[in-house]
Structure 1
Amino acid sequence: MSDRDKQATAARALLDLLTHELPQASWTVNDSLSAGELDGQIPTYTGTPGERIEMLRQWATALNSAVIPEFETDREFLKVTSEHMGVQVTVWTHVSLERGERR
């Protein structure tokens, strides 16, 4: 499958996801995997940490997945990863550990 085909496959999966009433995310379409990949970020400006976590839980339910934490030095990233229409979909947001924001 060409890179263009991978992106087209990922774009079709994104189009389908956008027909569902799910929280806002900013999307990147990648061609790094065999069928393409979607990376959706729930930006910090879309709500408080608690609101963003709830948005991520909605994505987890829709994608039949779980919210998984990942840690860096000063941030906790929360993400959901699953497959939709043969495309890997990751939706994520971050929560600052410095300010004591927790799940």
Structure 2
Amino acid sequence: MDWSQWQVVYVSVDYNEPENNYKVSKNIRLDSANPMQSFEVMPFSNNSQPFKYTLKFAKAGSSPIDVPLQENTSGLLLIEDPQAIDNPPVEPQPTVTPPVNP
């Protein structure tokens, strides 16, 4: 995460096991002074549900960038700059030059 590009990232995290009537939600604010937070749940089984999250990246003088609802099954969320999420690297395309008639 490049904190020189973003002042704050808001993370909304939800974990839900409806069959056990168990739900945990947390809104987290991350910034350069506080770049890590925890979100703890107590799943009822080893086959627990993925947690769901949304992200909002913000900086002064710009509109915030919202990342839509995502799911995570790894138990660890590593946040990347939204350009890396929305704009994967593009391979350059070869250029074709038409023949020139003398």
Q: TM-score, normalised by structure 1?
A: 0.29
Q: For the pair shown, which has the larger CA radius of gyration, 1 or 2?
A: 2
